[in-house]
Amino acid sequence: MTRTDEPFSGVYPAMTTPFESDDSIDFEQLRNDAQRLADAGVDGLLAVGSTGESATLSHDEHVEVVEAVTDAVDVPVIAGAGSNSTREALDLSRRSADAGADALLLISPYYNKPEPAGMERHYRTIADEVDVPQIVYNVPSRTGRNVAVETAVSLAEHENIVGYKAASGDLNRIGDVIERTRDRNFSVLSGDDFLTLPMLSLGATGTISVSANVEPERTIALVEAARSGDFAEAREIHEELAPLVRALFTETNPIPVKEAMEIRGYGPAHLRSPLTRLSEGPRAELAGILEELDGEPTEIHS
C-alpha cells in the first residue's frame, strides 16, 4: 500500500474473536470466519479490534490472532494495536507488524484523556517507529475523548498515517476531516454501520464494519453502489440492513453480533467476562431479522 492511491477503500469487517467454552481462542473457527469473509469479496479484514474483544486478550493472544488471520487469507489484514500507553501501543504495533499485519488500527488513548498535543505525539511516535500504514481510530464513546479535527488533519501529513476510522457519530466533525484531507490520498472510513451511507455521500472511502460479519455481500453492495454514485440503490440496501444494524447495537458490541453469528451457524457465541450473552428479548428480535434477511426460517442454536 502506498500514498499514491487510496490506501483503504471498500469493506473491512471488524472480526470477532471466537472462543471455546473453556475461554481459550477457537483458532479453527477464527480461520473459518476469515476465509468465509474473504470468499464473500471483502477488501480486507480487521483483527483484534473492539469487536474482537481486544480488551480481554493478552498481548501474546493478540499476536496469535493476527498470525492466524494473516495465514488464513490473502486479503489485507489490519490489526488493532492501540493502547492508552504510548509505550504499550508501540510494543503491540511492532509485534503486530512482525506477525504479518498489513496495517494497524490505533484507537486513541483512553481513560487518561490526553490533550491534543499529547494525542498527536502519541500517534507520531508510533508512526515514526513502525513502518506500516496506520489508521487513527476516533471512538469517543469508548475512550472519553475525541481526536480533535486539527489533530487528525495534522497527522494526515505523516507518510505512515494513511487513514481515519470515524466513530464519533458527528457528521459535521467527520465531514470536516474529509474536506481537509481530500487532497492527501487519506482515507476516512466509517466506524459506525448506520452512518456508512451518509459518510460515503460526504466522501468517505469505505467502512470498518460490524454488520459485515453477518451480511458481507449486502455491505459490499451498499458501498459499491454509493461509491459508483448510485445512491438510490445504496439507500435501498441501507434500508434492508437498518433493522439488523439497530439490533447489533442493542447491547454492547460484540454481544449481539456474536449471537447473530451463532444463529447463522458460525460457531457458539462465547464471550469473555465481563461480557455476557444477549438478553432473551433482543435475541428473539435478532433471530427474526435474520430470518427476514435470509428469506427462510433461521434455526436458533442454544
Nearest residue to 52 via CA among 114, 111, 107, 131: 107
Return the beta strands (E) in 61-125 as ranges: 77-80, 103-107
CB-based contact 237:227 (threshold 8 Å): no
Find the helix or strand (DSSP H, E) in which 189 lies: strand 187-190
Catalytic site residue from 137, 164, 258, 266:
137
The grid coordinates listed for 16 are 470477532
Phi, psi of 161 (to 5 degrees): -100, 105
Instruction: Clarify whether 137 is annotated catalytic.
Output: yes
Instruction: Clarify whether 266 is annotated catalytic.
Output: no
Fill in the amino acid letter for 86.
Answer: T
DSSP assignment letter at 148:
P
Catalytic site residue from 123, 165, 258, 266:
165
DSSP assignment letter at 203:
T
Catalytic residues: 137, 165
